[in-house]
Structure 1
């Protein structure tokens, strides 16, 4: 038929323990179902895909506008999403696809060693899913919501919440896939900070090396940790 449609984002992994998988993006889910049912091989199915494309991101590129000059935009009904989190395995699967376990290290004049370390567990979604982010706060019993434009973040930065709630949760309901390495490094950093090893150069070096460490926005990780002059 002359046109190829691709998904640029991989599908989220199935939840461990046989729980329901995390939801597909709403319009992306409609498009995925069309392709799964091979409707994209028909003219009508292809038109539906073009209609979906016209409703998301920046709309249709000029080539598609020329190829499909006559079609009516339809208001695709959004999938109904349960506002309640079904079970903890669902959270593990969702976070395996959408969550971040971050360790940030940056210079700080107020710290004797010259550096500050911050742990952050974060999930980011479109603002239309704010209700889901709010459910994470109540379900996990910690964290907070922040908004920036059309983006909403669920974040946990309090060390004791991370040590007493977040890590025990994911030890019981494990992270799967590529984020497992970051999660393991995150746990090691949390233990080092809990033991106050981050207050020594040797401890900071242990935290600096794992792959989970991220510089603050606009910053860079130090190639090595050096105490302030005279320290």
Structure 2
């Protein structure tokens, strides 16, 4: 069930001082739109957004798989205890532009703010568009627990007497898809720089580059572990599994291949770009110098929850 909202206005709060277009453009500087079309600069992206306001049809396989991954991380299909059918994706207010972009690209749904919890939600509450979403992600789900709730949710949806075209549920997808992985990483992934003391380094500090994912079910992360070598750990306090990749060859594969061809769109895109910049320092051995170490620690200081600004390291 959706939490209580202090503000359910569907407009972007006035204090942000930005229009939807400017927010979307600022968040997605050189990327791929949800039709799978390559976009070379902000101006052409702006034109693409304007020309593509009708988004219920023609969505690319890439974007649909990305959306499914995000849904499996942060989406919710409320259970049978709720009297009405609905769907929502929840994000922190820092990631509000991603929520607005999803609404813009799909062409339906609402955005609701929960200011007290610093959360923003993309919500669908009408049956026709719940059916649109159900069909869009059908056959793309890869997480057993989320798939089970999806099946129960769709069965409730199909029971509505006025629903003529019932959703024929496809089986759980057991193959990884890197677009899906990008979306899943938006929600349950993390890019971070580790720091520790070591006598083996002349600078006395060891820096590691890390990419990790968390889940209550280990089985979901095993899908990732089949393709990338990493290490397992279990957080007893919060009862979730963590799969972490530190091996430099694997980190480079993800940073310079997988997430280049299958981009992230939300705020974690900036953590990804920061880690990519850090990896480039490793590639040139600058991390072994005092100036390189200082730069790495500066990058680390503005990542994840410590991020105070949104900037693209590639832009001068």
Q: TM-score, normalised by structure 2?
A: 0.46
Of 70, 85, 96, which residue of structure 2 is paired with 1:34? Answer: 85
**Distance in 1 separating the partners of 2:126 and 2:247:** 48
* 1:91 equivalent in structure 2: 181
CA-atom RMSD, angstroms? 3.4
Report matched runs for 1:133-172 at 5 Å.
133-138=221-226, 140-149=227-236, 150-172=239-261
- Name the CA shift for 1:175/1:26 in 2 (closer, same or farther; >3 Å): closer
Larger relative contact order, structure 1 or 2 (CA cutoff 8 Å, min sep 6): 1
Structure exhibiting the larger radius of gyration computed from Cα positions: 1
Of 193, 210, 213, which residue of structure 2 is paired with 1:120? Answer: 210
**Distance in 1 separating the partners of 2:74 and 2:149:** 6
Q: 3-state DSSP class of the match of 2:263?
A: coil
* 1:21 equivalent in structure 2: 68
Report matched runs for 1:73-84 at 5 Å.
78-79=149-150, 82=172, 84=174
Deviation at 1:26, TM superposition (A): 9.8
**Distance in 2 separating the partners of 1:112 and 1:182:** 28
Q: Provide Cα deviations, 1:167-205, integer angstroms capped at 9, x if missing partner.
A: 311111011110111110100111111221111110011
**Distance in 2 separating the partners of 1:27 and 1:16:** 18
Q: TM-score, normalised by structure 1?
A: 0.60
Q: Decide whether the 8 Å contact of 2:215 with 2:242 is kept in 1.
A: yes
Report matched runs for 1:55-66 at 5 Å.
none
Q: Decide whether the 8 Å contact of 1:107 with 1:114 is kept in 2.
A: yes
**Distance in 2 separating the partners of 1:156 and 1:164:** 11
Q: Decide whether the 8 Å contact of 2:77 with 2:149 is kept in 1.
A: no
Deviation at 1:116, TM superposition (A): 0.9
* 1:195 equivalent in structure 2: 284
Task: Give unmatched runs, 5+ long, in structure 2.
Answer: 6-33, 35-60, 87-123, 128-147, 152-170, 307-316
**Distance in 1 separating the partners of 2:231 and 2:77:** 28
* 1:186 equivalent in structure 2: 275
Q: Decide whether the 8 Å contact of 1:145 with 1:153 is kept in 2.
A: yes
* 2:27 equivalent in structure 1: none
Q: State the aligned residue count.
A: 167
Deviation at 1:85, TM superposition (A): 4.0
